[in-house]
Every structure is written in C-alpha cells, then in structure tokens.
Amino acid sequence: MNDKQISDVLIHWYEANRRDLPWRDTTDPYLIWISEIILQQTRVVQGLDYFYRFTRRFPDVRSLAEADEDEVMKYWQGLGYYSRARNLHAAARQIMDQFGGVFPRTREEVLSLKGIGDYTAAAICSFAYRQPYATVDGNVYRVLARLFNIDLPIDGGEGKKYFTELAQSLLDSRRPDLFNQAMMEFGALQCVPKSPDCVRCPLNDKCRALASGQVERLPVKAGKTVVKPRYFNYLHVHARGETLLSKRTGNDIWRNLYEFPLIETGRPLTFGELQQTEEFQHLFHEIEDVEVIREVVAKKHVLSHRVIYAVFYEIRVDVFSPEMEKYLRVKDANVEDYAVSRLVQSYLETRESLLF
C-alpha cells in the first residue's frame, strides 16, 4: 500500500466515522484556533461546552482582544492549564496590533502569535486555508508508530523530527484539511491507546506493529515527569460579609487566578500545627477570636507535574487584621465572580452543598 492508498483509506474511513463537531464545519481561522487551544490538554467531550461558551462571549478576535483578562480567565475556568487562556488573550491583542484585526494567513505569521507552536500553526493553516502542512499530535504519533512499527521515543528531538517528516510525506496535498482531520480522528476513535479493535481496522493488513505483536507497546516515550507533592492550607477568612481573596502571580501554577490566603507547608499539618507557623501568626496578629466554621479536606488534585494535597479552613473573624489589608476584600456573594482554579471551585461547590 503506497502513501496515496493510505491517505485514501484514512479519508474514506473519516468520512464514514467522523464526529460532528462545530469547528469542523467552518474555515474561520479564529474558531479553529480557539478549538485547537482548548483541545491541547482537554478531551473533546469535555471541551465542547467550553468552546460554545467561550465563543458565544468572544465570537471574534476583536471581542477577545478588548476583554479584560479577569473575564477571559473566568470563561476559561475549569479547563486548567491557564497559560493557554493568557496566551489566547495576548495573541488576540497581537492580531489587532500587528495584523489589523485580521487573522494571519501564512504559517510564519501564525507561528509568530503568542502560544502557537508547530502543531497549532499546521492545524490552522490546513483547516482554514487548506495549506499543505501535516498536523502531528498524540493521536498521529500513535497511528504512525504502530502503522510503521517505529520505536523512536516520541518525546525526544530525533523522534519528533522523524514523525513530523513521515506525516508530511504521507500528507495528501490536494486535501490536507481532510487528511489531517482523518489521521487525528483515526487515532482518537480507532487506533486508541489501549486495546484497539485491530480486527476491524481498515489498515490492519498493512500495520507492521500488528504483524509483529507490538501494538500495545507503541508509541514509546523516553521518560516520565517526576511528580512532586505540595501541601496547601487555604484560609477562607471572612468578616462582616466580606471575604479575602488573593491573585496568584509569578511563574507558579494558576497564575492570575484568584484564591483564598494560602500557607504552603512542606508536609501535612493539623490546624493546631498550622496555627503555630509564623505565616499564620503574622496573618492573624491582634485577632483574639478565630472561629473555625468548617474544615474541608480536598481530594488529591493531580496536575501534570505536581500533586496538590489541600485543606480548606473556613474562618470567621470580627475584623480583619492589619496584615490582611494586603488582600482583596470582596462581598461574600461575589466570590463566584472571580476566576479560580478547579481545586478552589471544587471546594466552593462542596461548601455550598454543606450549607443546604
């Protein structure tokens, strides 16, 4: 089976099995861009509602560029990997400033946008403009590794270069949009990570990994990220109808999202031990009556390179201490208006369920 036959088989399979998704019925580069950024770290079934919600509020580049960052983050809330939202916002402003509000058309110009790499640029250019650039995502790596029985690690420089060149060599230049969609959909629905249905695979007679019994072993990754634990003690402090919030800054996780005052410790602490820390005593200096209304131990929160163990203490005080003046004070009823991490949102939902 030659390259054209592989392409024809994949496209034929795609036309019979494709999912009906909104970003596949448009050539608008803005909508395609939004969908690709959402789907970078989010499964389709989870991302669909977010796509509709986000694009209803920000239907074009101008509306996104002119929005306040806090609002953009709020509409992204729950999707995680929040740098994606910050980059979207920055890139929208870049398009307004550098391209007159018109989404760029060349691969080089698209690559110049904040947060866009080779894969996303290829996706936008092939889907919106039918330009001949192969998209190589996790699904494509898997299909190619199995079809050609390639054991080069997909997370190494050599492997990435090899797979990219291979995908480009297979690309149907007359139908790059269909071919790329077909390849990715084939990996998502047919050539799945675990226990693929090889009996019904239209490429099973040409799959070298199937012939050699290597399907489950491929693709190969060189190494795994070391996951480290972190221990968060959140202090949900409120007095006289107001709650303290803080905006995360720096280069840590959840940058520019809001949260309650946080004391991070090197190990789990009881509340009594937490009270003895310098940070707690400094924060509650001159406050005599600290009433802990409830304690909520959050479920283990797993990120790509961290595992967060969090405890939330809801605390009522009569007045805020001088040290608490550095925090943002918001009405209790308005806390939900602020963009927070999934961890904090889960706590707020748990707390609400306990109130009723």
Catalytic residue ranges = 36
Q: Token pair for residue 310?
A: 């969090």
Residue partners of 89: CB distance under 8 A and separation at least 6: 64, 65, 67, 69, 72
| 32, 123 contact by CB (below 8 A) | yes
* Interstrand relation of 306-316 and 291-297 (parallel, antiparallel or unpaired): antiparallel
The amino acid that residue 342 corresponds to is: R
308 secondary structure, DSSP code = E
Phi, psi values for residue 237, rounded to 5°? -100, 125
Helix axes 176-189, 3-17, angle to 10 degrees: 70
d(CA 220, CA 158): 13
CA distances from 133 to 113, 159, 166, 172 (A): 17, 18, 12, 10
Name the residue with tokens 């024809």. Answer: 8
Angle at 224 between CA 221 and CA 230, to 5 degrees: 160
| 245, 232 contact by CB (below 8 A) | no
Which residues make beta-bridge pairs with 292?
Answer: 315
| 309, 268 contact by CB (below 8 A) | yes
Name the residue with tokens 């009522």. Answer: 316
Residue-by-residue DSSP string for 234-287: EEEEEETTEEEEEE--TTSTTTT-EE--EEEESS---HHHHHTSHHHHHHTTT-
